[in-house]
Chains A and B, each alone.
Chain A
Amino acid sequence: MGLQTQPYGIQGMLKEGHKHLSGLDEAVVKNIDACKQLSTITRTSLGPNGMNKMVINHLDKLFVTSDTATIVNELEIQHPAAKILVLAGKAQQEEIGDGANLVVSLAGELLQGAEELIRMGLHPSDIIIGYTKASNKAVEILEGLAEEGSDTMDVRNKVEVILRMKAAVASKQYGQEDILCPLIADACIQVCPKNPMNFNVDNVRVAKLLGGGLHNCTTVRGMVLKGDTVGSIKRIEKAKVVVIAGGVDTTATETKGTVLIHSAEQLENYAKTEEAKVEELIKAVADSGAKVIVSGAAVGEMALHFCERYKIMVLKIGSKFELRRFCRTTGAIALLKLGSAVNPDDLGYVDSISVEEIGGARVTVVRNEQGGNSVTTVLLRASTDSILDDLERAVDDGVNTYKALCRDSRIVPGAAATEIEFARKLKEFSFTETGLDQYAIAKFGESFEMVPKTLAENAGLNAMEIISSLYAEHSCGNVKVGIDLQEGACKDVSTLNIWDLYVTKFHALKYAADAVCTVLRVDQIIMSKPAGGPGRRDQPAGMDNED
């Protein structure tokens, strides 16, 4: 390309390989298209009857799940607009830990509505104004739908916790929520601190062990560590614990040291002094009353020998974070290294440490029944790794729901009752508006129909019938009527006991509306040449081939 033949406009000015899309048709509509495709993928996974997806990521790892956060994460979305949706879904996952599917599917539906409006002749900025108004209105409606009296709850009441957790867990592991929910609720309530606001998700651990079945799942108050103890003592009860962050071994200087030996005698003596020193250290531990040494690094042969002699159990925990958790569980304060004196205040306490064999794997189970606010582990058993992973995600969702309900325990009717109410109220609201945005508001409302529609479709029911009867019930004032997926009929959710958390819905609504407005605001895309490096893999299925 010579100077003379440079084309007019931006194309001629950028480096080769750049792409520039602008205008309504090229940028906005294409963006919407990509987002729609993404939401079509996730939509079928919505709700308890949602289908699972099989995703194989670039490392050839297999995921079988209906958890949207995982799906979109592993899909490696490339299209910039679709990516915005993915980011919104991730934000929801990080903030609440559940409802990512609602965000992506709803955003897709809203964009589809926007496309129809654009074809009708509305300008994207009108749609943005309308959508913003509608989402503010929807938040208002949501406030009104919150179940009375649900804002104050006892976060230690198992029944109430399960009630709120059920919908989230059921959407991941339908049919098994009755087994999982009590487990999760138990685990959460046990570690819930005095001020529930400070609930830490990290305190509920998940240990996955292959073999057995769902019925073998249990919770352990304490920790389950993979691997064996170091020494020969495999079981101990009611013991004091000393935790050492560094290794249990002879001390060394930071600067390189050299042993200076002049004679054979000294050589012999050197080994002896060394031994004496280590014995002194281990003896100090034994004298303090501790029966267990937990080490964060390697345990020396010699130290181990003396530990055995003083009947001290030795446990090695390689991960720094795991070690901190262990400290929390037992109430110990980690020492840096073995010193001459061990302060009794720094010792922790365990009810029992034992090595057990579960499903062929040796695990060390640390129990601490007394510590109220420590760590609880949910022990999951299942037949394959991918089921275990999926169960873990369900547990994570449940725990996150608990965290969310500790902050705001308000609930709204589930099973699409809230969504239908949104659709109905927003439609009414749109009639009161006079500008062009009323169309956008109406579309915003209509988009919520996607939820009952998808729920019904995924359950193999006739969606249109269900939606119309839902509308009929709601306009009669029965705002708590949702879909009973098992019977395929419309029922009051208070009899079904399906409730969603207010915060989940609130954030999902906000993030979806936010993402949609961002996508609509863009009218030009400038893409630079994809960076070099190892050739990219074939694009995953369902991705827009635009880029």
Chain B
Amino acid sequence: MSVRVLNPNAEVLNKSAALHMNINAAKGLQDVLKSNLGPKGTIKMLVGGAGDIKLTKDGNTLLKEMQIQNPTAIMIARTAVAQDDISGDGTTSTVIFIGELMKQAERCIDEGMHPRVLVDGFEIAKKATLQFLEKFKTPVVMGDEPDKETLKMVARTTLRTKLYEDLADQLTDIVVNSVLCVRKPEEAIDLFMVEIMHMRHKFDVDTRLVEGLVLDHGSRHPDMKRRAENCHILTCNVSLEYEKSEINAGFFYSNAEQREAMVAAERRSVDERVRKIIELKNKVCNGTEDNFVVINQKGIDPPSLDLLARAGIVALRRAKRRNMERLVLACGGEAVNSVDDLTPDCLGWAGLVYEHVLGEEKYTFVENVKHPNSCTILIKGPNDHTIAQIKDAVRDGLRAVKNTIEDGAVVRGAGAFEVAARQHLVNEVKKTIKGRAQLGVQAFADALLIVPKTLAENSGLDTQDVIISLTGEHDNGNVVGLNQHTGDPIDPQMEGIFDNYAVKRQIINSGPVIASQLLLVDEVIRAGRNMRKPS
């Protein structure tokens, strides 16, 4: 160029160069995430700046932790993260699907096709696939008592892609039970009511569901009980410590007597509050063996703790805000903000409250509650990376169960949907379309096959063989998926492999959109500001 329009430092890519950069980036990202897909996917080890280790198979975690810089890759990664926000799973599938769409598009474009025509084809194919998905899904009736078996199958399918089999199977029950526990009829499921707590202790298979709550702190007084049965629980948000006045106040005294009086007066209001709690305790526990537990969101200072301890009350201070809500759901009663009109109705009840000390960390378990509407998944593992891995998996599992209940439908998995959708597009939809858009539909249909292909590849099977045998079965009218161990077709319904309807819909919806956007880019300009170190 003889005359430069742009800042000399700016970089410009145009026409096919821009397109190819985008395609390459999409393919590159696909390559990275490809090996994660499915139960046989491999684990990636991420080493952070400070040398901390993270092991993951979860596409979402991986994308978050990898500091991606390529602009195209960032766009794709954002779509995938959005996928996770909406449906909680399917990030890897999204990324590889986009990558594959780009790859198919590249082939067509190299043969001289205009991206615009391709994009039109994608759009038609997307609509047709979504319609097909509506037909293909397996409805699940969600009455008052959801079918536990179906939920378990969905949860198992998700968890097995994140963790090894034994652990996944164990977590399946935990995840399903916890969602059913927090579920209230006629209300949307609030997964925040499932507390996820971790302890660095024992083995990963010791992870369990606590019907109740686990708090990550203990009582702060040595004389309080470590274990109490039949407890009345007072959940409150009342400051039980002396707080300095806002204004600058001072005392004037001229002898020690006066000062003593001041000291007493200073504490009076706090002591008064403590006294009210103790009164309530005496009222409800009068003469029985019952115990009384105070869980306070605000602080309790040492003199108040001392008073409470002497009255035989177990007191916990500075509970987390979110736990206050959960406590009330788990134990009953209500959270009080003032001790002025305490009645026994405000109290919750738990069969057992005990403290567990692990090194320097203390944990308080509130268990054996009557009608839990909140529960805790207690994750155990010998080290932090195991715990983090389980935590991510549990979160996805919970989302999967919730999605199923809300969708009222599941989709047969193990690649069955993708193969069926492809056959539908090629055999039915393509014929109804005139002109070059057909090629776009064909490209979209072929791109769908990436899921079973990658599943096969990760299991060490031959991709071509697998695809041929799967499409063959589908042409005969059987809906089959891939058996990861043998490479033979299986019926996902029989094997209990189900994916979320919401996940699949989101993938089909967002994948082509981002791919179309990227395909229609014909110029990339990076501003002249030098972001990198001068090389």
Write the residues of chain A forming the contact surface with B, with a CB cutoff of 8 angstroms: 1-4, 6, 8-10, 12-16, 18, 27, 78, 80-81, 83-84, 87-88, 90-91, 94-95, 123, 125, 245, 250-262, 266, 269-270, 273-274, 276-277, 324, 327, 333-334, 336, 510-511, 514, 518, 521-531, 547
Q: Which B residues between 485 and 535 are near A, CB-CB below 8 angstroms?
A: 524, 526, 532-533, 535
Q: B391 within 8 Å of A by Cβ?
A: no
Q: B245 within 8 Å of A by Cβ?
A: yes
Chain A residue at minimal CB-CB distance from B359: A94
Q: Given A9-B28, A87-B382, A530-B51: A259 and B266 within 8 A (CB)?
A: no
Within the complex, what minimum Cβ distance (angstroms) separates B264 from chain A?
A: 9
Partner of B47 from the list A80, A90, A256, A269 (CB cut-off 8 Å) is A80
Q: Given A13-B25, A245-B302: A259 and B253 within 8 A (CB)?
A: yes
For the complex with contacts A258-B253, A527-B47, 4 further pairs of A-B residues with Cβ separation under 8 Å are A91-B383, A270-B255, A524-B35, A525-B45
In the complex, A90 Cα to B200 Cα: how many Å?
A: 11
Classify the secondary structure of A's interface with B.
Answer: mixed
The 10 closest A-B pairs by CB, nearest first: A531-B49, A91-B382, A527-B47, A273-B255, A277-B256, A260-B252, A87-B383, A273-B256, A523-B42, A13-B70
Within the complex, what minimum Cβ distance (angstroms) separates A35 from chain B?
A: 13
In the complex, A91 Cα to B202 Cα: how many Å?
A: 8
Q: Given A14-B69, A524-B45: A83 and B32 within 8 A (CB)?
A: no
Tell me whether B69 and A526 are in contact (CB under 8 A). no
Q: Which B residues between 39 and 98 are near A, CB-CB below 8 angstroms?
A: 40, 42-51, 53, 55, 62, 65-70, 73
Tell me whether B254 and A266 are in contact (CB under 8 A). yes
Tell me whether A521 and B250 are in contact (CB under 8 A). no
Tell me whether B11 and A3 are in contact (CB under 8 A). yes
Encode B208-230 as 1/0 by CB contact (under 8 A) with A: 00000000000000110000000
Partner of B48 from the list A13, A277, A528 (CB cut-off 8 Å) is A528
Within the complex, what minimum Cβ distance (angstroms) separates B484 from chain A?
A: 11
Tell me whether A528 and B252 are in contact (CB under 8 A). no
- Find chain A residues with CB under 8 A from B306 CB: 336
Q: B260 within 8 Å of A by Cβ?
A: yes
In the complex, A269 Cα to B257 Cα: how many Å?
A: 11
Tell me whether B532 and A1 are in contact (CB under 8 A). yes
In the complex, A508 Cα to B428 Cα: how many Å?
A: 60
Q: Can you list 12 residue pairs at the A/B interface with Cβ under 8 Å?
A: A1-B532, A3-B21, A6-B70, A10-B28, A13-B73, A14-B68, A80-B47, A88-B383, A256-B249, A257-B252, A277-B257, A525-B47
Interface size class of B (residues with CB under 8 A): 35 or more
Q: Which B residues between 282 and 339 are near A, CB-CB below 8 angstroms?
A: 302-303, 306
Tell me whether A83 and B42 are in contact (CB under 8 A). no
Tell me whether B47 and A522 are in contact (CB under 8 A). no
In the complex, A252 Cα to B219 Cα: how many Å?
A: 27
Q: Given A80-B47, A531-B49: A334 and B222 within 8 A (CB)?
A: yes
Q: Given A3-B524, A526-B66: A12 and B28 within 8 A (CB)?
A: yes
In the complex, A251 Cα to B267 Cα: how many Å?
A: 13
Tell me whether A273 and B73 are in contact (CB under 8 A). no
Tell me whether B48 and A522 are in contact (CB under 8 A). no
Q: Given A88-B383, A525-B44, A525-B47: A257 and B251 within 8 A (CB)?
A: yes
Q: B244 within 8 Å of A by Cβ?
A: yes
Partner of B382 from the list A80, A245, A276, A514 (CB cut-off 8 Å) is A514
In the complex, A324 Cα to B256 Cα: how many Å?
A: 31
- Find chain A residues with CB under 8 A from B192 CB: none
Tell me whether B29 and A327 are in contact (CB under 8 A). no
In the complex, A245 Cα to B309 Cα: how many Å?
A: 15
Write the residues of chain B forming the contact surface with A, with a CB cutoff of 8 angstroms: 11, 13, 17, 21, 24-25, 27-29, 31-32, 35, 40, 42-51, 53, 55, 62, 65-70, 73, 164, 200-204, 222-223, 242, 244-245, 249-257, 259-260, 262-263, 266, 302-303, 306, 359, 382-386, 460, 524, 526, 532-533, 535
- Find chain B residues with CB under 8 A from A521 CB: 42-43, 55, 164
Q: Given A257-B251, A269-B255, A524-B45: A324 and B222 within 8 A (CB)?
A: yes
In the complex, A254 Cα to B244 Cα: how many Å?
A: 8
Chain A residue at minimal CB-CB distance from B524: A3
Chain A residue at minimal CB-CB distance from B245: A255
Tell me whether A255 and B32 are in contact (CB under 8 A). no
Partner of B44 from the list A13, A245, A526 (CB cut-off 8 Å) is A526
In the complex, A10 Cα to B76 Cα: how many Å?
A: 14
Tell me whether A276 and B46 are in contact (CB under 8 A). no
- Find chain A residues with CB under 8 A from B48 CB: 528, 531
Within the complex, what minimum Cβ distance (angstroms) separates A251 from chain B?
A: 5
In the complex, A250 Cα to B53 Cα: how many Å?
A: 53
Which of the listed residues B40, B69, B245 has the most CB atoms from chain A within 10 Å of its own CB? B69
Tell me whether B251 and A123 are in contact (CB under 8 A). no
In the complex, A88 Cα to B44 Cα: how many Å?
A: 19
- Find chain A residues with CB under 8 A from B252 CB: 257-260
In the complex, A84 Cα to B25 Cα: how many Å?
A: 32
Within the complex, what minimum Cβ distance (angstroms) separates A131 from chain B?
A: 12
Tell me whether B244 and A270 are in contact (CB under 8 A). no
In the complex, A532 Cα to B468 Cα: how many Å?
A: 52
In the complex, A498 Cα to B264 Cα: how many Å?
A: 64
- Find chain B residues with CB under 8 A from A324 CB: 222
- Find chain A residues with CB under 8 A from B244 CB: 254-255
Partner of A16 from the list B11, B263, B532 (CB cut-off 8 Å) is B532
Tell me whether A13 and B262 are in contact (CB under 8 A). no
Which of the listed residues A84, A256, A258, A518 has the most CB atoms from chain B within 10 Å of its own CB? A518
Partner of B251 from the list A27, A83, A253 (CB cut-off 8 Å) is A253
Within the complex, what minimum Cβ distance (angstroms) separates A386 from chain B?
A: 25
In the complex, A245 Cα to B50 Cα: how many Å?
A: 40
In the complex, A88 Cα to B25 Cα: how many Å?
A: 38
Tell me whether A4 and B13 are in contact (CB under 8 A). yes
Chain A residue at minimal CB-CB distance from B381: A91
Partner of A257 from the list B250, B303, B535 (CB cut-off 8 Å) is B250
- Find chain B residues with CB under 8 A from A90 CB: 383
- Find chain B residues with CB under 8 A from A524 CB: 32, 35, 42, 44-45
Tell me whether A78 and B51 are in contact (CB under 8 A). yes
Tell me whether A522 and B43 are in contact (CB under 8 A). yes
- Find chain A residues with CB under 8 A from B17 CB: 4
In the complex, A166 Cα to B39 Cα: how many Å?
A: 46
- Find chain B residues with CB under 8 A from A16 CB: 532-533
Q: Given A3-B13, A3-B21, A526-B66: A80 and B250 within 8 A (CB)?
A: no
Tell me whether B66 and A270 are in contact (CB under 8 A). no
Partner of A529 from the list B49, B70, B524, B533 (CB cut-off 8 Å) is B49
Chain B residue at minimal CB-CB distance from A15: B67
Within the complex, what minimum Cβ distance (angstroms) separates B217 from chain A?
A: 16
- Find chain A residues with CB under 8 A from B47 CB: 80, 525-528, 547
Within the complex, what minimum Cβ distance (angstroms) separates B466 from chain A?
A: 18
In the complex, A94 Cα to B68 Cα: how many Å?
A: 37
In the complex, A333 Cα to B203 Cα: how many Å?
A: 38
Chain B residue at minimal CB-CB distance from A262: B254
In the complex, A251 Cα to B524 Cα: how many Å?
A: 73
In the complex, A262 Cα to B254 Cα: how many Å?
A: 9
In the complex, A333 Cα to B255 Cα: how many Å?
A: 31
Q: Given A4-B13, A252-B263, A255-B244: A14 and B28 within 8 A (CB)?
A: no
